[in-house]
Amino acid sequence: MKNLRTVVVDDNPFDLLSIQDALLLNGHYTIETTYLNGSDFLNALQEKNLEFDLLIIDYRMPILSGIDTLRILSTQSINFKVLMVSHGFYQHIFNDLSQLGFRNYCRKKPDTILESIPRVMAGVNIYQDLESLKNWERMSEKNALRLKDESHWRSELTPTEIKLIRLMCKGFSSKEIAAKMGYEPSSIEKYRGLLVRALDLRSSGQLVSWAFTQGIVTPSSIFMEAPEDYLGIYKRKES
């Protein structure tokens, strides 16, 4: 197999790194670039003339999910193959992908991804029969694999949202926050708006006030460069 130029889109930094490491260790892949949400990927696809062979994209992401990203791609002419990944199996997502013309969807596990890619590149279905899908579905129910997908989408704030709010409270601009979080500034603006609406607030100013009342930030933390604001949030969540 030739050296495949690959783009990975995943908002979970641990999953993103594990996929990257597996591809690079395999020796047949180069990582062209990575993105944390579908919106940033689509913007780059339009503005930067990206050239690559394979897109690996997560199902659940903030701002623009994997399935919504593929809905947009399905209306365009593309010259790369697509593999959607998630921890758990979702029948409705499998059905939606089929209707959009993207047939390949596998478990977000490095070994499974590597086993699936040759069939993706050949343009054939990963699953030669439905037994593999049934096994994945049973495993999802038994081992609560879906909870791994839902971990960033619970009713309470996610680590990414906490980080964004803390940086807002420190007075950083959208451009500065984007640089610290690895997003595009336009995505930070969208994310900010989504948070305000999700919390039933009226403005970013109210969001900052709300963060103080909830103890997400404290007056002393505003004047300190607390490491957890930037590096430790995901580690705490994993422990």
Q: Domain check: are 13 and 112 in the same one? A: yes
Q: How far is 222 from 27, CA to CA, in rounded Å?
A: 45
Cα dist. 47→42, 70, 108 in Å?
A: 9, 18, 29
Residues 135 and 48 in one domain: yes
- 233 within 8 A of 159, measured Cβ to Cβ: yes
Stated pTM of the model: 0.67
CA 58 to each of CA 66, 136, 214: distance values in angstroms, whole numbers, following the listed order: 5, 17, 31
Residues 125 and 61 in one domain: yes
Which helix (DSSP H) or strand (DSSP E) does residue 72 occupy?
A: helix 66-73
Whether 84 and 38 have beta carbons less than 8 Å apart is answered as no
- Identify the domain boundary among 150, 184, 207: 150
Up-side HSE of residue 218: CA atoms within 13 Å toward CB?
A: 5
Same domain, yes or no: 79 and 184? no
Give the span between the Cα atoms of 188 and 217, in whole angstroms: 19
CA distance 205 to 160: 19
Same domain flag for 223 and 130: no
Helix and strand counts by DSSP (H, E) for the chain: 13, 5
Q: What is the pLDDT of residue 159?
A: 78
Residue 11: predicted pLDDT:
83
User: Are residue 145 and residue 54 in the same domain, yes or no?
Assistant: yes
Domain C-terminal end among 150, 179, 210: 150
Alpha-carbon distances, residue 230 vs 21, 93, 128, 167 (angstroms)? 23, 33, 44, 9
Six-digit token string for 234: 């995901």
CATH number at residue 187: 1.10.10
- Please indicate, yes or no, whether residues 29 and 116 belong to a single structural domain of this protein: yes
Q: Determine the pLDDT at residue 157.
A: 72
pLDDT digits (tens, 9 = 90+) for 132-148: 777 777 777 766 666 66
124 and 26 belong to one structural domain: yes
Instruction: Give the domain CATH number at 10.
Output: 3.40.50.2300
Q: Residue 212: what pLDDT?
A: 77
Structural domain containing residue 14: 4-150
Number of neighbouring beta carbons within 10 Å of residue 217:
20
Same domain, 134 and 165: no
> How much is the pLDDT for 147?
63
Same domain, 38 and 103: yes
In eight-state DSSP terms, residue 28 is: S
- Report the pLDDT value the prediction gives residue 36, as an integer from 0 to 100: 85
**Total domains present in the chain:** 2
- The reply to whether 46 and 107 lie within a common domain is yes
Positions of the chain with pLDDT lower than 70, given as ranges: 1, 142-156, 213, 219-239
State which of 120, 150, 180 marks the end of a domain: 150
Q: Are residues 87 and 168 in the same domain?
A: no
pLDDT, residue 235, reads: 37
Residue 74 CB neighbour total at 10 angstroms? 14
Q: What is the pLDDT of residue 208?
A: 85
pLDDT the model gives residue 12: 81
Give the 3-state secondary structure of 149-172.
Answer: HHCCCCCCCCHHHHHHHHHHHCCC
